[in-house]
Chain A
């Protein structure tokens, strides 16, 4: 139920988005409620000498559609396009390291690279994006990208290094109505009957289907389970890290290491928590860092999966 006062608050233009949604949901819930809502709004307007009229939604949609939805693809005279396509193909053939072959479809603007053979095929797209196709993978892409997006279709596995064009998203269409949306990053797509997996090296990627979206950030792996139709995020802990500790307590050091490497360091002796540690680490592994700490304070440690137990008597 929506409070009367909330309705007034809404009418007077003081409602935050969440409240506005509540009010509009209330209005839309049943014809009776809608009638009540509309007449109250009218009275409110009249009370201030104002007037409100709903626009014709159909008209507004047509306006919107005409202006923005009708695709604007660069049109070129036919012979030019043919020449360009041959030109692109020629340039690309030089870069293809290993067997793959092109299918040129003269009727549409789409081209296809089918990776044959037993090794990878490297493809350089017009925008500078590099795609390494695994054997038997197929990438379908247009001769020219549109003004709004760069769209390709992939079946099989590939490693993408998408060139950065923030205003021009790169969209990969996959089976099962899946799409991958990036602006400029590098990642691997692996497709299996039961799942589709994306391994993200850098940047971020949107991996989605009509109902769900998974946002991947660097270092993560996302998978889509085909039968369950759900997305899963697998977080991979980094292998190395850089830290600068200046008179940091071992407790604080442990906390930072825990967070970065996704482990659980436990100081078995409570006295150890206050040992002061100063050291800089540049791209070191967890083990290297633990070694350094142990050496400094004459401690020892044991690792059991994600748990690390540090033992010792006191700080020396």
Chain B
């Protein structure tokens, strides 16, 4: 009976059972005066500490770096200390809590490590593969397909070729094909980095040495700590059926860009600092390092307007051995890189903040461009600041000692409002309304602006594409879906003149000098119509000469995805077409300008993202590459 009654305790509700779990100590009830006193004291102390924590004001001045005055990197430390300090938004913790705005600090780890120093002689020397303005074939070895910005400065791409083979980078796989017209076949397929699938694959690209024996892949992947890492892999492709790895170089950081010129490779990467772990007593936390060694202080360039705690690291490598022959770190984020025959131009944008007469804050976008000479080591030549921001690398050009730059200039007026995170429509309209385009010419001896045409576009327009060609500059600006295209005559900097098309439908995201005074624009006619248009200069202005449109079509704005053949007047690119009445189409089109019209020669189905598709015309055949897809068509 007793046991039976005792078993009724099983009927106790689970919440009481959990409440009374023995390892949970119920709050002791102090009975003794000493205990009460101790508790009261603790409570008072806690209250004092809490008040201190709540109301102690945040520091409003950057921390001093004078403790490192004797350090060789003191200028860097001083700069980083100011850069990484953020002025508190609130006066103290109490202010912060009541406004309910937690602060998130973006953490990024930065370290540059080089592994696998130069191995034995590996053969395969990169030479200048371009001869003259247009792509032309060497007698042996590689033939350039990529429409490089500067003749003689090769840019990496997803496709390169020799007389016999085509090398195509499909994701993380290198595919090799024979060039044999309709009999062409895939000869080999090499998965790189174990066939890694990662979200950096869209940045992978490759070079081919002049003698066609070496493919160098610029790869990027996340390491075991999920930090980006650049991997330069040199492959011996002498026998495409048996491809072997010759050299490898690994650098922590993001891949920005690269060039090959005169047998040397210029590699630009980005190195981001982790503010949370940065410690000036530990060099590895705030300096780029190569092979475990911190970069020399003399190699670190500190721009006046540094605005972010990250470096652009520039390295010069021997293409054969991947040995490092020079390096420099430029403190600040470089969005665009332009490389001429003698210089590297690093551009970064910052905001010039002023107060206007009404007391409103006005922000003007400004671009600081730093010029580095790279032929014999790296040397800073100078820098210049221009109004506005640049669109891409094509917005800069060096010609006969003058740097020409085209920018979108804008001024944003920000009115303080009660809801500090709310940007009113009025503010946005103001911001858009002050956009325009400007052209600047900078003397590379003095780094002073010697000529300019400011705000030449209709109000509220932005630069969509730029192309320089000797004394001529072509600029397309637009607002919404209409643009003028401008032709600038830069032959006399004291009297720069220009003509334009007037406002026309659509805009061009890329402009291509197509020879014979014709300009090819690649872009959109409206939000869903692809357009390729030929422009030419007339006595009075610029006119659209002919165009090709494709309705309900999308294309890639990656310039390297276009096949530009000036000799044969061909344009090839990937498109995707979605139509309400038509079957969806994903493929590749080849257009030909016959002097009168843009004619569609091919429209072929090809799988994959438009940005990764590539094509090349060789001896009457068009070879087209997509994701897991390859087509050859007779043209």
Whether A and B are associated in the same complex: the answer reads no
Chain B residues in contact with chain A, CB under 8 A? Answer: none
